[in-house]
Structure 1
Amino acid sequence: MTAQGRVLSKRARIRLLWLRLHRWVGLALMLLLLAMGISGMALVWPDATERLFHAERFEVLAADEQMPPSALLAAGGEALLHGSRPAQLQLGAPGSAAILSSEVGGPPFLNLGPPRRTHVWLDPADGHVLSVSVETPDALFVARAVHGHLLVSTEIRWLVALTGLFLLFMSGTGLWLWCPGLRSIWRSLRWRRQLGRSMNLHRHFGALASLGLIAQGLTGIFLALPWLLNSAPHDPPSAPTRPVVAPTQTLDAVQASAQQLAGTARLQMVQLPTEAAPSWLLGFSDGSEVSVDDASGTAELLPPEHDHHDGLSGLIHRLHGGDFGWLHRALLFATGLALSMLSITGLLLWDQGRKKRRG
C-alpha cells in the first residue's frame, strides 16, 4: 500500500522494489561508475587522449624523415636524468615520435602499474626533444589505473570484477524497468515532456546503451578474474636489472646484423643489453624479434612467443578493448559516454526527488 492509501498489485510491488534497488545501488556507485565511464572513453582512443593532454609529443617536423636509431639513442640519452641509463628505444610509425625509456628509477607510482621510468619523446627527423616525463604519471596512466584497478592495489582485482557485476545489475534492472514490450519500444523512445529533462535523458541513454553496458560489464569481470576462463594471469615481471654502462656493440652494427634476419621489416623497438642479460633485443614491424649477443655480435631470430590473447580469452580482450575497427571503438566510446551520463542524470533525479519530498 502506498502513502496515498492505494493498494498496489503484486507486479507493481515487485517493480517498486526493483526501482528502489536500482536507485540506491546506482546512488552508492555513482562516482565509481562515472570514473569507469570517463576512463573507458579515454582508453578507447589512447592516441587522441595523449594528444589532448600532451600535444607537444606529436609536433613532429617531417613525416618522411628519420635519423638513424643510434643518433636518436644518443640524443635522447642527453635528456635523461644524470646517472640514468637508457633501456629501450621505441620507433613509431612514420610521422610519430620516437620514445626513449630509461632504466627503472623507483617503485610504481602508488604501487600501481609498471615501475617508474623517465620517458623522452624525440622528433625522429632531427632528434630534438619534444617532451620529457620524469617518473610521473600522465593522463593515460591515470585512466588505466582507474579503469584497470580503481586506484587500488593491482592484487585486489576482485574489486574491478565486483564493479562489473554491479554494472550488470544496474543495466539489467534498468532495461527491465524501461522495457515496455516489443510492440511499444519505439513509442517509449519518444521524448516525454511530463517526465522532465533528466528523466528523459536517463531513460534514453539507458535504453540505447544497455546491451553495450552489459557486454562491457561481463567482459570486464572475465578480464579482472582470468581464472574464470581457466586462463592464468600474466606472469609477474622479473626484477629489473640495470642496462650495461658501455655496450660492446654499437647500435648501428647490431641493427645491421638483425636486419639481415628480419628482411625488409621496419625496426620498431630496441632493448639495450642489461647486466643480467647482456644481449640486445630488436623488434620489427612484422612481429619478429632478433637477439644480438653484445659480446660476439651474433644475431639470432627468436621463435614467436605464445600469444596470451588466443582463444576465448583473446576474444574477450578484443571485445572489451575495441579491437574490431573504428566502428567498434565508436560504439565503446558511446557506451562510456552513456555510462557517464547515466551517473550524472541519476544523481540529478535523486536530488530532484529529495527536494520534492521535502517540499
Structure 2
Amino acid sequence: MRRISILLLFLVAFIMGIFIPSHSYAYIGSPPSTGGFFTEKNHPLPPEVKIKKAIVRYTFSEKKSIGEIQPTVTIRYLLVNQSKQAQNLDLTYLLYELTPEANKTAKKAHHELQNDVKLKLSLNEKPIDYQYLRYMNRGEWLVPKVKEEWLVEPIYHQPLAKLTSQSFDNTVGVKTKITLAAQQQAELTISYRDRGEFISQKVAQSIQSHLFLFPPNAFWDKPDLRLELVFKQPYFVHSNLPFTKQTPNHYGIQTQKIPSLWLFTIADGTSLPLATQLFQTNMVKEIMIYLFVMIIFLSFLFFALANLMRKKWLYLLPYLIPMIIAFILLPYPYLSPGGILFICLSLLLVAILHFIIYLLFRFIHKLRHKTS
C-alpha cells in the first residue's frame, strides 16, 4: 500500500506539472510607460523654470471589458518662469510604443497619434505642435525603476510578478518647443488615450495596468500634485500610491511629495468568477490546486461510501464530479482546450483513486477474513 500511495503522489504531481505552468502569475515584462516631461541628462530644464502644480486624471468613460478600454489621460502642468528673461524650452513627453505599422514612417506615426492615441498638446488652451520621437535611448533619459512589490492584482492584492528592471529601450515620445515670457505662469495640457497593459493569462479575472512617470524632483517648486481616477462603472483598484475613495467610481490622491512613478491595476468590479470568490484568490494556479484537492476528497468519500454501502451506482458519482466542478467552478469555459484537458486529467485521477480504494478495501476484507 505504501508503494501505491507513493505512486499516486507522483502521478498527481505529474498531472499538476502538466496542467499548471511553472510560473505562478500572469505578468510578463513591464507595462508601457507614459507621463512626465523628461529632458536629456546633458540638457536639464533651466533652473529658473519650475513646475508649480500638476493634475493627472485617468478617465475611464467607456463601458468596455478589461483589455479593450482605453482611458483618456489628461495632465495639466502649471509652469512658472521665475527669471526676468524669456525662456525657450525643449520638452519631451514619454509615450508607449506605437504599432509596427505606425513606426514605419513619420507620417503614419502622426496619423496614429492623432486618430488612435488622440494626442493633444496645448499651452494656455492654445494647441501646440509636436515632433514624434522613435526608440529613444534609455541611457540618455532620466527614468525611474519599478519596484516589484508595486505590481499587485487589485482584487485580493496578490503579487503579479517579479520585475528585475523597467525596460525603456523601446520608449517613444513626442518633443515640443514652448516659450515662457519673463515671470510668466502658463498651463501646459497634454491629453491622450492610454492603452495600458492587458493581463489575462493565469488569472481568473483579467487585469489592466497603467504606469505614469513624473518629472524629477528638481523640476518642481513647492509642488502640489493631484492624481485622479474616474470610472464609468465599478472596478477593483490597486495603486502603489495611497488614494482615497471619494465616490464609488472616483479615486483621488493629493500630495506635496513627488513620487517617481504611479502604477495602478484595475479589474472589473461588477462580477467575479465563482471560484475566485470561493477560494479568495485570482490566480488560476491556486484555483486549480483547490479544485484537484476537492475532486480527490469527494471521490475518496463516494468510493468509500460505495464500498461500505455496497451500492454500485455510487461508483459512478466520482466520475461525474470533474464535469460538475468544471461546469461550475472552472475559471474558463469547460469546453475550451484547457477545460477539456482539466476534465480528462481529473477523470484519470479519479480512476487511479478508484483502483487504490478497491485495493484498500480488498486488503481490509482479507485481513478481517484471516482474523475471523
Please give the TM-score of this superposition, normalised by the length of structure 1.
0.19
Structure with bigger helix share is 1
Structure with bigger strand share is 2
